Amino acid sequence: MAQRLDTDRLVLRPWRVEDAADALGIYGHGEVARWLSPAMGHVPDLAAMRLLLAQWIEQDAGLAVPAGRWAIERRSDGRLLGGAILLPLPPGEEDLEIGWQLHPRVWGHGYAGETTHALADWAFSQDVDEIFAVVRPGNTRAAATARRNGMEWVGETSKYYGLTLQVFRLRPADAATAPLLPNLTAE
């Protein structure tokens, strides 16, 4: 089960099936979903989202620490803003992927960076030496977020998911020197 993590503005907590309506608004949104395949297909409706959340919760119970999936909730009002992951990358599951998916209405507020720092700090406190973000070519927003958060571009590979992906790496020393970006726009 994912460990609850708190930041100044966010609570990263385990998913609950009751999050389905808000989660569908994120994972069913075209601007988010287009970058998730093939790891995750389009979520067509509320029933499918409930089923997917139940599967995530069940899978998380069997993951080794620090891996997991988190709901990203804004501390000030409890609003669900997105989701985040620390998961072993296929095919060999020797690399740990960090990822985040936020509703487009909250893009540009620094929440992805805050999430990245919280998850990286958690992973590194559990003796993880490096984490990776894999980004589909063309997803300039995700690539820019990875770079802003101290992640180093290490190249492209087709090792993961059978796709050519850009790979970014973060190590503890890089995370320690990366600035935690403040709120970038008014909320």
Reply yes or no on whether the pLDDT at 41 is more than 80. Answer: no
pTM for the whole thing?
0.89
43 domain-assigned: yes
Q: What is the pLDDT of residues 24-38, one digit of tens each?
A: 999 988 788 777 755
Pairing of strands 68-74, 5-6: unpaired
Residues 6+ apart with CB under 8 A from 32: 26, 101, 102, 103, 104
In this predicted model, which residue has the larger pLDDT, 39 or 15?
15
The 8-class DSSP code of residue 168 comes to E
73 domain-assigned: yes
46 domain-assigned: yes
182 domain-assigned: no
In the chain, the number of structural domains is 1
> Among residues of the chain, what percentage have pLDDT more than 90?
70
173 domain-assigned: yes
Rg of the chain on CA atoms, in Å: 15
What own/partner pairs with CB < 8 Å and gap ≥ 24 does 126-131 have?
A: 126/65, 126/66, 128/66, 128/96, 129/171, 129/172, 130/95, 130/96, 130/169, 130/170, 130/171, 131/86, 131/96, 131/97, 131/98, 131/169, 131/170
106 domain-assigned: yes
Question: The domain containing residue 35 runs over which residues?
Answer: 5-177
- Supply the CATH number for residue 104's domain: 3.40.630.30
pLDDT at 177 (0 to 100)? 66
**Amino acid at residue number 120:** A
Q: What is the pLDDT of residues 86-136, one digit of tens each?
A: 999 988 788 999 999 999 999 999 999 999 999 999 999 999 999 999 999
187 domain-assigned: no
pLDDT at 174 (0 to 100)? 79
Q: What is the pLDDT of residues 127-172, one digit of tens each?
A: 999 999 999 988 998 999 999 989 999 999 998 888 899 999 999 9
155 domain-assigned: yes
